[in-house]
Structure 1
Amino acid sequence: MQNYKDLLVWQKAHRFTLKMYAVVSAFPKEETYNLTSQIKRSASSIGSNIAEGCGRFTSKNLASFLQIALGSTHELEYQLLLSKDLKFIDEELFIELEKEVGEIKAMLISLIKKVRLAP
């Protein structure tokens, strides 16, 4: 359908994924196969599903993959809250990351609506 790298939401999601990899590198080592791994998977799932959806031939398929990406943002949002409550990240960083996830969510919702209305 189109090059996913041209989508602003993919660009933002990709930058955010890179940021999340840096953030979790400071998490306790015993979380490597637990929360750290889950956060990496959720974050990378956003961009991955946008990319996969763009490789599909129909708007309906693209919308489905964008919806999966949106689900991953919700999952990541919870994982950030859990990270804050476990004191792996401080309140200031949590607020910053939560804001960025919210922006990605809003962009995805807007794109999903646009794609669903497309002929």
Structure 2
Amino acid sequence: MTGNLIRDKSYEFALRIMKMYRHMIKNNVEHEIAKQLLRSGTSIGANVEEGCSAQSRKDFIHKLSIAQKEAFETRYWLRLLRDSGEIKKEHGNSMIKDCDELISILTSILKTTKANTK
């Protein structure tokens, strides 16, 4: 743990996504959708990490904006998998809840950073 809320939560979320991906592949869930989920779900944390080492406030905003977009995409894939019955409803709801929390944190960070930039 780094002590940085968004870094820690996005990293833990990526680990859950990776475990979910392995489970889906073992259970023959649509391979392309599983890959899309893996890409977007792990990209959130990667962009947060890049943002934390940004060279400017503008770069920080850009990287966290990408992380936010990836979180929205991840939520879409999770909803699709849950609602199609490819993953258990309870598991999907738990993952979506965590994803929504990441979206809320990222949105708050971006709003505050943009307001302080003006």
TM-score range, shorter chain: 0.7 to 0.9
State the distance in 2 between where 1:51 and 1:76 align.
18
User: Structure 1 stretches (4+) deviating beyond 6 angstroms?
Assistant: none
- Structure 2 residues not aligned, in runs of 5+: none
Give the letter aligned to residue 14 of structure 2. T
Name the residue aligned to 1:118: 116
Alignment RMSD (CA, Å): 1.6
TM-score when normalising by structure 1 = 0.86
Name the residue aligned to 2:12: 15
- Structure 1 residues not aligned, in runs of 5+: none
TM-score when normalising by structure 2 = 0.87
**Matched pairs, number:** 114
Q: Percent of pairs identical after alignment?
A: 27
- Aligned ranges for residues 1-119 of structure 1 at < 5 Å? 5-27=2-24, 28-29=27-28, 31-32=30-31, 34-119=32-117
State the distance in 2 between where 1:30 and 1:22 align.
14
- Where relative contact order (Cα < 8 A, 6+ residues apart) is larger, the structure is 1
